[in-house]
Amino acid sequence: MTTDYDPIAEQYQLSKQQPWRRYIESYGLLDLAGDLAGKAVVDLACGEGFYSRLLKHGGAQRVLGVDSSQGMIDLARKQEVEQQAGIEYQLSDVREMGHAGEFDLAVAAWLLNYASTTEQLEAMCQAVSGCLKPGGRFVTINSSPLIDWLTIPSYRKYGFEALFGNEMRPGAPITWKFYLENETFDIENYYLSQSAHEEALRGAGFSEINWRPLRVSAEGTAAYEAGYWDTFLTVQPVVFIECVKG
């Protein structure tokens, strides 16, 4: 798996300011996370803590962020020192993190798409399930296995392009090229089918697996001219999944 975020940790943090991140990604993920009051929440592949902070400020009692990149965890801890939100961070691959049965809710923004084989996907889903209490929920956003990647449109006006080869085979790389104000950077993740995801989730003990399409928040709709979000919503390059342990 190519998951080295150390060299791009700061650029990645800047990419979170792109409008679609707020009006589609955060809006949808926090909506699916639901009522956080009193909940113990684990933010898997937490990066520099973008969602860990939103989850804690949203009312979660406990938030643990887990990520395998030292650069990302350093940025997360730096912000925790400045803001004192009471978030714990752990440097670890999620497949080795431990914490059996501790959490009510697991959130993962961009984790499952780092699996390039069904075995890796299964190991990730087992790890997510392992840290949840029975009845605990898992909500996640990833590159979508539901679209035809061979005919995707340009997403340049939203600040990125998604680049794909010429075969939708398991493990085929998806390259996300982000355009920041003065620079670009690339992230590579991987295509695995919808059925591979469902089998891995079921095999790890999840049920009520729902694929949730993207929506734009009312604020995001109002901020742009009519039709601005049409390309994003017509061929949705990312998708939410929610499911329940047990």
Ligand X SMILES: C[S@@+](CC[C@H](N)C(=O)[O-])C[C@H]1O[C@@H](n2cnc3c(N)ncnc32)[C@H](O)[C@@H]1O
Q: Which residues bind ligand X (CB under 6 A)?
A: 3, 5, 16, 45-47, 50-51, 67-69, 72, 93-95, 109-111, 114
Closer residue to ligand X in complex, CB, 124/243: 124
The Cβ-side half-sphere exposure at 172, using a 13 Å CA radius, reads 18
- Smaller CB separation from ligand X, 93 or 199: 93
Q: Residue 106: helix, strand or coil by DSSP?
A: strand
Which two structure tokens, joined as six digits, stand for 79? 């912000």
Both tokens assigned to 107: 């959130």
Return the number of the residue (17 or 207) whose C-beta is nearest ligand X. 17
Q: Are 39 and 60 in contact (CB under 8 A)?
A: yes
- For the chain, what is the radius of gyration of the CA atoms? 17
User: Looking at beta carbons, which residue is closest to ligand X?
Assistant: 47
Tokens of 88: 């714990």
Q: How far is the CB of 197 from ligand X (least distance, A)?
A: 16
Residue 26 DSSP label = I
Q: How far is the CB of 225 from ligand X (least distance, A)?
A: 27
In whole angstroms, the minimum distance from the beta carbon of 71 to ligand X comes to 8
Token duo for residue 121: 């996907």
Q: Which is nearer to ligand X, 109 or 200 (CB)?
A: 109
Least distance from ligand X to the Cβ atom of residue 95, Å: 6
Specify the residue, 4 or 208, whose C-beta has the smaller distance to ligand X.
4
CA-wise closest residue to 24 among 234, 176, 223, 217 = 217
| Amino acid, res. 196 | A
> Minimal distance in Å, beta carbon 96 to ligand X?
8
